[in-house]
Structure 1
Amino acid sequence: MKDFAECIAFLGQWGLFQQVVFFLLCASIMPNGFGAFTLVFLNDAPSHHCFIPDVNLTEEWQENIIPSKVVDGKREQSSCSRYRLDVVQNLSAQGFLPGRDVNLTELQQEGCVDGWSYSKDIYQSTIVSEFDLVCSEQWKQPFTSTVFFIGVLFGSFFSGQLSDRFGRKPVLFATMAVQTFFTFIQVFSVSWTMFTVLLFFNGLGQMSNFVGALVLGAETFTGNVRVLYSSLGTCLGFALGYMLLPLFAYFLRDWKSLLLVMSVPCLAYIPFWWFIPESPRWLLSQGRVEEAEAIVRKAAKWNKVQAPSVIFQGHSETKPGPKERASVLDLLRISHIRVMTLSLCFVSFTMTFGYYGLSFNTSRLHTNPYISCFFSAAVEVPAYISSWLALLYLPRRISVISTLLLGAVPLYFIQLVPPGHSNLSLALEMFGKYAITTGSSLMFAYIAELYPTVLRNTATGTCTTASRLGSCLAPILVELGTYFKFLPYITLGTMAIVAAFTALFLPESFGLPLPETMQQIHRRKRLKCPCLSGKETPKTAVFLDGPL
């Protein structure tokens, strides 16, 4: 029986069909980059202080009713307290002047009982100013981000299993619809609780369609086009959406307008349904040979080539047997697959923890959050190009270990930077993010190469779910950094070192085709990468794709 790549070799690797599917799938990922970091702006806290109602106060007392203190050489007003208004009114009426007749340090203070006044220098409104998520309610800021990523976690886990059962295409479009619908509905939130609940459901579709698009493309394309798509294509689509975010946020300074821009244009993706096909590999794994052949024949017409009378010779029109019906339990049932899965989960967790931790923290490194966000997004472009080149020419395991170590070193060095050299700290952090982003991009393709078709999306979804635990914890780690500046760097650097050691237990997939069955995974346990050993892959290993 011919493998998949041989069966469709007559199509070529880069005809009109592949080009259309390639760019449409990449375009479908752009909203993920746009939406993943929207909370950087939606959840940011503008400068604020206690609101002072219109009462009869002298100009001197109006200017001094908010307590102030010196922070890092600058005098800042208190955000959560003011001098007791009734006392100040009485002193003002008697003609006492602050600082001359009255020692301000001895005056009683009170909380912001009349609410807060928010600066509009940067934002017209955020959910923080809309729902007063400050002072005693400040814990809701990182918790909001965590709830979003918990939704991403659940979506990644269940979408993978649903995709393996019902197909890549329907789950891809269903998760895109979920993300678009709940982003739009959030505009009408009347409370923080309502916004957060809707944000959870928004998260269910946020990265699920990214994983669905990644696996669908990885199974549709062959050869170097598959590598190009799995690394550079999908990730550049994400990065482009990420870089557009600060641009739109700059011109739309209120949170509701930004959510509308995120959701309404996504209706343009509806026509994609008629151009993006189901994965032929998945159809073959389900015994639906005629449907797989119909897709390939359509591709042949688009590419203007002649299809053979029988394309998938040797594939029967029957459902796969019980052994080919893999489930999430197959990731843990067999010892070597269990070790591989647990190692991949931990490495993915560390990569994502570092990626989101540095992404959210980088936005605080510049006084202008729009510039900070753009720099954080722009550094991903060279990272994804590096990932693509590594996938083409370097072994996977060595690449992953190298990126983890390269990411850890600058994070440790940040602690040694003398005060006043903020640009050096920024450069080190951006280099750390560059390395971690490169590794994160590698992991998507690496995981997809290690598992068979019947288990690939479940495995990818499971590893992505584990990684999403890192994104859930990242906002909390960044918030703790306000109490100890170097805690995020020490934590992320140490975890990267441990993950690099864990990656030593992963198998190599460089130069090996995509496996199709569980039996091929068992055989691969004993295989060495032909590119490293100089030996050819044993003929007993029959896979469904050509070499990379």
Structure 2
Amino acid sequence: MAFNNIILALTITQHNCKLPEKPANLSEYLWKLKYIPVVEDATGDNRTKFSACLIYTANNETEACSIYDYDKTWYETTVPSDNNWVCDNELNVVNIFSYSKIGETVGSFIFGWFGDVYGRKPTIIISLAMLIIGRLISGTATISMEISSPKRRASVATLRLVFTSIGLCLTPLFYWWLRNWKPYMIITTATLIPCLLFSWNIIESPRWLWVNREYKKCIQKLKLIAKVNNRNLSSTIENEILTSEQDVLADSVKVLGPLALFSGWRLAINTTLQLLLWVCVTLNYTAVLLSSAEKSYGNPFLDFAGQSLAEIPGYFVASWLADRIGRRYTGMISTTITTFIWIIYVFRDFNGTEWLQSQWLGTSLVIINRLTITVSYYIIDLLNFELYPTCLRQTGMALGNVVSGGAGSLAPYVLHLGRRFDVRYSSAILIATTILCGVLTSFFLPETLNVKLPETLEDAQRFGRRDRTYYMSVNVKDETVDSNLPACNRD
């Protein structure tokens, strides 16, 4: 809720120049026609509408509005209505969205490195505190994934993302109740305070402790986990942990930081492909999320909540498909459907056919689009955890968030392009990125279904090189397997 409350607070409500009081004997339409010029709609198809930014002068010329009237049917106030961030000043709203994403980018970069060096727990606590104070960053927690078995990774990711969608669903209900953006922002952000207080009870990741050679603390946390699950940590495992010797690469990872994600041909390819995938998925998801209020066909708060609820079955569908047909094919199906929906939007904007313009079709398209993009978002989120070793997982997630934040900062400008100039421009960009997303997921990234998480940098450098279906250029020399590697890497 705290992370996404800014979306509704920056909603641009319907507006036009403030007009003199309307005489009782004139209709609303004729009164507007007297003062407000008619302009061409950006959606095309020779449609026209009353200008939201211009008014006739005494000389029957047009000029920009000096005072605006805002529709208060649903929103009593928003940030744009309080500050007149509309028309020529509408770019301020776009910039604020963009700055928010840049804040995510900076936070992800810093705290990704911080999490791999100093641990997951302090990262969560500090980022929660900063989010409460300034909403500048998002918590990049990976503990839940690292203490889960391979068979449960998809389920854990599903639960985490489902509760994100529940927060999105609740957010507009608070605005509907409060109607004013200031108390709404305060209350939805204050909901994080209990999370911050209870976060001190979160345990540190045993994987992170092991990779960083804190073996005694690792055993302590494993014993706690075992106790909660009515199990015992065997003395054999305990002795194995205490006597284990970590590869010297663990030290080099701390020095290299994000550069270690490109240390090796296969790891560099996997990292690059994931970053491109982050760009495509985030641009689409952010565009859909930011336009949620614009695609309303009634109560904007209930519509926003309904679209957010559509994400929940999307995550369960994604989890079910990912565990049965794999990550790649699940991503391919979702991006194909999303592409077709963007194409239908183009026909809908430029074709006045009654059934294309029907409310039921518009609502259905929005919900299905949100659901399918949610599936794509789930897949890249899951892949980001599964392709990196423990010593680099937080850094890998951070780098993905950095690129994702950059792509997300472009989404408001893509929407602005279509809203102020021609909707075909934004549609073409979204269609092209969705197709690219499908190609990357389907043909180039390695499949990670039921695969053990890489534990070391060497594991990650080898991961995917044996998949000849998607990597035909592997050298014979690269196929040599070190007999000293764990069995899971030799198989």
1:240 correspondence with 2:169: no
- Relative to 1, partners in 2 of residues 1:541 and 1:252: Cα closer, same or farther, differing over 3 Å? farther
Q: Which of the residues 148, 151, 164 maps onto 1:224?
A: 151
Cα distance in 2 for residues equivalent to 1:364 and 1:47: 10
1:127-526 alignment, distance < 5 Å: 127-182=79-134, 202-203=135-136, 205-206=137-138, 209=139, 211-212=140-141, 215-230=142-157, 232-309=158-235, 311-316=237-242, 320=246, 322-325=248-251, 326=253, 327-367=257-297, 368-417=299-348, 418-419=351-352, 420=354, 421-422=356-357, 423-482=360-419, 483-503=421-441, 504-526=443-465
Cα distance in 2 for residues equivalent to 1:320 and 1:162: 21
Q: Hey, what does 2:477 align to over in structure 1?
A: none
SS of equivalent to 2:238: coil
| AA of the residue aligned to 1:286 | N
Question: Deviation string for 1:454-506 (max 9, x for gaps)?
Answer: 11111111122212222111111112222323433332222221232233221
Contact 1:449–1:509 (CA under 8 A) maintained in structure 2 = yes
- Relative to 1, partners in 2 of residues 1:235 and 1:392: Cα closer, same or farther, differing over 3 Å? same
Contact 2:124–2:199 (CA under 8 A) maintained in structure 1 = no
Deviation at 1:141, TM superposition (A): 1.5
Cα distance in 2 for residues equivalent to 1:375 and 1:539: 54
Cα distance in 1 for residues equivalent to 2:362 and 2:385: 35
Deviation at 1:539, TM superposition (A): 8.4
Calculate the aligned-residue CA RMSD, in Å.
3.2
Cα distance in 1 for residues equivalent to 2:17 and 2:435: 45
Contact 1:390–1:399 (CA under 8 A) maintained in structure 2 = yes
- Relative to 1, partners in 2 of residues 1:527 and 1:131: Cα closer, same or farther, differing over 3 Å? same
Cα distance in 2 for residues equivalent to 1:455 and 1:383: 29
SS of equivalent to 1:314: helix
Deviation at 1:168, TM superposition (A): 0.6
Deviation at 1:386, TM superposition (A): 1.0
- Relative to 1, partners in 2 of residues 1:400 and 1:309: Cα closer, same or farther, differing over 3 Å? same
Gaps of 5+ in 1: 1-33, 88-105, 183-201, 530-536
Deviation at 1:428, TM superposition (A): 3.3
Deviation at 1:120, TM superposition (A): 2.1
SS of equivalent to 2:38: strand
Deviation at 1:247, TM superposition (A): 1.1
Cα distance in 1 for residues equivalent to 2:82 and 2:113: 38
Question: Deviation string for 1:135-191 (max 9, x for gaps)?
Answer: 321211111111111111222222111110110110011111111112xxxxxxxxx
1:40-59 alignment, distance < 5 Å: 40-51=7-18
SS of equivalent to 1:441: helix
TM-score normalised according to structure 1 size: 0.76
- Relative to 1, partners in 2 of residues 1:428 and 1:296: Cα closer, same or farther, differing over 3 Å? same
1:39 correspondence with 2:12: no
Deviation at 1:131, TM superposition (A): 1.5
Deviation at 1:374, TM superposition (A): 1.8
Return the index of the structure with the highest Cα Rg.
Answer: 1
Contact 1:348–1:467 (CA under 8 A) maintained in structure 2 = yes
Deviation at 1:245, TM superposition (A): 1.2
Contact 2:266–2:465 (CA under 8 A) maintained in structure 1 = no
- Relative to 1, partners in 2 of residues 1:540 and 1:407: Cα closer, same or farther, differing over 3 Å? farther
Cα distance in 1 for residues equivalent to 2:12 and 2:71: 10
Cα distance in 1 for residues equivalent to 2:126 and 2:487: 31
Report which stretch shifted further, 285-294 or 465-474: 465-474
Report which stretch shifted further, 256-265 or 313-322: 313-322
| AA of the residue aligned to 1:382 | P
Question: Deviation string for 1:326-364 (max 9, x for gaps)?
Answer: 221122232221111111110111011111112222431
Deviation at 1:320, TM superposition (A): 4.9
Contact 1:331–1:341 (CA under 8 A) maintained in structure 2 = yes
SS of equivalent to 2:185: helix
Contact 1:356–1:471 (CA under 8 A) maintained in structure 2 = yes
Cα distance in 2 for residues equivalent to 1:512 and 1:458: 21
Cα distance in 2 for residues equivalent to 1:277 and 1:289: 15
Cα distance in 2 for residues equivalent to 1:280 and 1:543: 22
Contact 1:514–1:544 (CA under 8 A) maintained in structure 2 = no
Contact 2:105–2:405 (CA under 8 A) maintained in structure 1 = yes
Contact 1:481–1:487 (CA under 8 A) maintained in structure 2 = yes
Q: Hey, what does 2:478 align to over in structure 1?
A: none
Deviation at 1:238, TM superposition (A): 0.5
TM-score normalised according to structure 2 size: 0.84
Q: Hey, what does 2:486 align to over in structure 1?
A: 542
Deviation at 1:444, TM superposition (A): 1.3
Gaps of 5+ in 2: 469-480
- Relative to 1, partners in 2 of residues 1:53 and 1:361: Cα closer, same or farther, differing over 3 Å? closer
Contact 1:514–1:543 (CA under 8 A) maintained in structure 2 = no
Cα distance in 2 for residues equivalent to 1:425 and 1:513: 43
Report which stretch shifted further, 316-325 or 416-425: 316-325
- Relative to 1, partners in 2 of residues 1:117 and 1:331: Cα closer, same or farther, differing over 3 Å? same
Q: Hey, what does 2:475 align to over in structure 1?
A: none
Cα distance in 1 for residues equivalent to 2:320 and 2:281: 19
- Relative to 1, partners in 2 of residues 1:221 and 1:122: Cα closer, same or farther, differing over 3 Å? same
| AA of the residue aligned to 1:343 | L
- Relative to 1, partners in 2 of residues 1:521 and 1:264: Cα closer, same or farther, differing over 3 Å? closer
